[in-house]
Structure formats: structure tokens, C-alpha cells
Structure 1
Amino acid sequence: MPVRSAVQTLPLRWFTLRRRVIATGLVAAAVAAWALHPTGAVDLADGKAMRHSGLKAAWQAGNVAVLVRHGERCDRSNNACLGDADGITLAGSRVASNVGDGLQALGMGNAQVLTSPLTRTQQTAMFMFGAAATPQDWLMNCRKTMLKDVVAHKQPGHNMVLVTHSECMNALEQQAGIHGSDGPGYASALFVSIDPVTGTPKVLGDLNASEWPRLLRHFKG
């Protein structure tokens, strides 16, 4: 009887083990698929994510392009405006100044600043750095070739700050194979590294405007 019982239960154990192996394989495949097709950019305010992104080394080497969305739009807010309705609000200007302080803390000694020609982006750039930035039409007309244009304008050894629009940031993510993002908030940033030899772009992650103190703490740690 014990021998017969063992023989009868062997198939059940085998099928149970087989199911576990299959399930493990499916999980591994899902993880691999996510790695190849991530659902969204990582949050660089998270210390572990920031370190794994390689942002610090890439920034110090001058291999980064950072896209910053303009500050809060006057025509879509009840907050006080700086001036014309096509510009940003007073609150948006203060946030832009804080983001500029964050970028200055990273180091802007070898950085180039470009902006969309629209009023809201030019005002944002002015409050970020206290000086006018060079306007570029491709930072407004961006939906089809944004990633290609970023790579084309990136100078080796010089980080690049691009003050632009939400649709341009979304377009770059889509063209880089990043999907599932909720879209950038006002004055949020998207960091992209550009290989200086091959020109290959890599989305490193994104950052909300309020998260700069956390990024800087991890960056300098």
C-alpha cells in the first residue's frame, strides 16, 4: 500500500511543480517585458531610483538634456498674473525661480539654455535663471520629431536645459518608448542622457517642481 500510495500521488506533485515553474516563467517574462517597455519614467526624487539612473555621473560629464515645462499658465488659473494672459502667474514665477535654484545647485557652468518662443516659456526661463534664453521654434512645434531634435541640438560636454511644453515632453517620452505617464505638471522636469559618441538617448527619469530638495539631497549625498 505505501508504494502504491506514493505512485498515485507522484503525478499530482509533478503537475503542482510544473505549474509553479510555469508561473515563475510567466513572472520573469512580465518583468523582462516591463524592462523593455517601461510604463513611465522613474521618479528621481527617490534616492534609489536617482542613483540607479546614472544622473549624477551623466550631469557631471555634460551629457544631460533636461526638459522643463513652463510655469502655471495665467489663462488657465484664477491666480494673479504677471501681465498678459498668455504668460504665467505670480505663483508660477516663484516656482520657476525655485526650479532654477535647483538646477543651479546641480551646476550650470557648462549648460546651454533654450526655450520655446511663447511668452509663458520665455517668462519661465527668465525667472529660472534671471536672463533671457535663446528661443527655438522646435521647442514649440515638437510632436513629430522632439527626441530627434533634442539629440541634434545637444552639444557634447554641455548639459542642455529646454524650457518647453507638456505636449513636447509627452512626445519625447512616446518617441523614446516610455508609456503610461500622467503627463508633466507645471515646472516639472524630464531628464534625458545623450551618449556623446553614439548620440543614443536614454530617459533617466522625471521630477515634480516641489521635489528638488529631495533630488539635491540624494545628488549630493
Structure 2
Amino acid sequence: MGEKNLGNSVSRKPSSCLSKKVVTMGALTLAVLATCFVLWPKSPANLAHEGAQARAQLLQLWSAGEIAVLLRHAERCDRSSNPCLGPTDGITRVGSEAAAGVGQGLARLGLTQADILTSPVTRTVQTAHYMFNSDPRTQEWLATCGTTLRNDVVAHKVAHRNLVLMTHSGCIADFEKQTGFKHSAKDAEYASALFVHIDGHGQLKVLGIVNAEDWNTLLEEKN
């Protein structure tokens, strides 16, 4: 009986060791997944909340003509109870006011060395009109976007000139995924801006976003 019990005790040891290994491996796997989740960038930082150094860098790069900015159109008429400007595929009156405010912020940055392009869709054309007090050239690729958007932005960027692009939330999401933000948490807000640094060699780095209500904070450094 003693030998039998001893045999059972010995036979249980490998199973116990295996269980410990399984638990250890499981814990390591969870730790790796948790670390990756923390390190994955969900969405670009808000530049208005990043401090004076980040704002100063943006102003410096803008002055050098090394910025591309992707703007989302203002509030859609067909998804709001606010009064429309006109066509239901356009923007609301509230949206036009927000667009004008963002335009004032961009004007304070300076638009003399900027190329402005817009998607041909009604809501983007209207937003651009109220934002810049003009009707910029329309570009179909700013409506279709897709897998080539990152390269299209770089291709349209002229050296020493900033590039201002009026587009859509889906297009901005495409761009973010193509530039390292594969797990973006939410769509771009109405009339928000995504700032990107593109150097003379076409190398691209996302700097961050500025929402419509944040322009005064962003431009404190300029004052």
C-alpha cells in the first residue's frame, strides 16, 4: 500500500509542474497584451493640451512651410436638428460659424504660403467657403481617400508651402491608420484639424489634433 501511495504521489508531480507552467505562460501572455495595449497609440494628441513646447514646435514648422493639415467639415445638416444653410447634404448655420472661427485661427497662423484644397462634396465645399472666405480648388481624392491617402497627401505637398486639406472623418481615420494610429478611439470632431509635419524629403510625422474650440489655447504661444 505504501509503495502504491508513493507511486501516486510521484505521478502527480509532472501534472502539477505542467499546471504551474500553464499559469505562468498565461500570466506572461496577459502582461504582454496589456503592455501592447498601453503602447498602442489610440489617437493623436490634442496639441492645445500638450504644453508650450509642442505649440512652439508647430508654429516653427508652420513658418517653415512644412505642415499639412487635414480638416474635417463642419456640422452636417442631415445629422443635426440645427437649421441648415441650404441643401440637406451641406452644413448647418452653427457649423458655418464654427468654420469661420477655425478660419480665423488658421489666418492667425498665416495662409500666405499655404495651398488649400477641398473635397468636392457639398458639406466640405461649404465649410471651406466659410473658413477661408473663398472657394478653394476641389480634389476628388479628398472624398474617396482609401489606402493611397497618405501618399496622396505627401505628393501634393509643395516644399516650403503648407498644405491645407478639407476632407471627411472617414478620410482622416484612413490617414491615421496609415500613419501609425491603427486603434484610433473615435472619429474626428466637426471642424477639427489634424496637423502633420512633412519634411523636405517627404518624411511624415503626425503632430496632433486641434479641435474647433481649442484655437485660442493653441495660439497663446504666438501671442
Q: Which residue of 2 aligns with 1:39?
A: 42
Query: Which of 193, 199, 210 matches 1:195?
Result: 199
**Does structure 2 retain, via aligned residues, the 8 Å contact 1:189–1:208?**
yes
Q: Quote how far apart the aligned CAs of 1:173 are.
A: 0.5
Query: Which of 177, 181, 185 matches 2:180?
Result: 177
**TM-score, normalised via structure 2 length:** 0.80
- 1:109-128 pair list within 5 angstroms: 109-128=112-131
Separation in 2, partners of 1:125, 1:93: 9
Residues 52-78 of structure 1, C-alpha deviation per residue, up to 9 Å, x if partnerless? 783122111000010110010111111
**Does structure 1 retain, via aligned residues, the 8 Å contact 2:173–2:184?**
no
Q: Give the letter aligned to residue 48 of structure 2.
A: A
Structure 1 residue ranges without an equivalent (≥5):
1-25
Q: Does 1:57 align with 2:91?
A: no
SS at match of 2:164: strand
Q: Which residue of 2 aligns with 1:209?
A: 212
CA RMSD of aligned residues (A): 2.1
Q: Quote how far apart the aligned CAs of 1:144 are.
A: 1.3
Separation in 1, partners of 2:82, 2:190: 14
Q: Give the letter aligned to residue 189 of structure 1.
A: A
Separation in 2, partners of 1:98, 1:55: 19
Structure 2 residue ranges without an equivalent (≥5):
1-30
Q: Which residue of 1 aligns with 2:155?
A: 152
**Does structure 1 retain, via aligned residues, the 8 Å contact 2:47–2:55?**
no
**Does structure 1 retain, via aligned residues, the 8 Å contact 2:55–2:218?**
no
Q: Which residue of 1 aligns with 2:7?
A: none
Q: Quote how far apart the aligned CAs of 1:181 are.
A: 3.1
Q: Which residue of 2 aligns with 1:101?
A: 104
Q: Which residue of 1 aligns with 2:8?
A: none
For residues 50 and 168 of structure 1, do their structure 2 counterparts lie closer, same or farther at Cα, with a shift above 3 Å needed? Answer: farther
Q: Quote how far apart the aligned CAs of 1:180 are.
A: 2.7
**Does structure 2 retain, via aligned residues, the 8 Å contact 1:44–1:50?**
no
Separation in 1, partners of 2:98, 2:216: 13
In the alignment of these two chains, the number of paired residues is 190
Separation in 1, partners of 2:47, 2:210: 6
Q: Out of 49-58 and 143-152, give the one that drifted further.
A: 49-58
Separation in 2, partners of 1:177, 1:113: 25
**Does structure 2 retain, via aligned residues, the 8 Å contact 1:113–1:160?**
yes
Q: Quote how far apart the aligned CAs of 1:50 are.
A: 5.6
Query: Which of 150, 153, 167 matches 2:170?
Result: 167
Q: Quote how far apart the aligned CAs of 1:46 are.
A: 1.4
**TM-score, normalised via structure 1 length:** 0.81
Q: Out of 53-62 and 167-176, give the one that drifted further.
A: 53-62
**Does structure 2 retain, via aligned residues, the 8 Å contact 1:166–1:183?**
yes
Residues 162-186 of structure 1, C-alpha deviation per residue, up to 9 Å, x if partnerless? 0000001011100001133312010
Residues 58-107 of structure 1, C-alpha deviation per residue, up to 9 Å, x if partnerless? 11100001011001011111110000101100000000000000000011
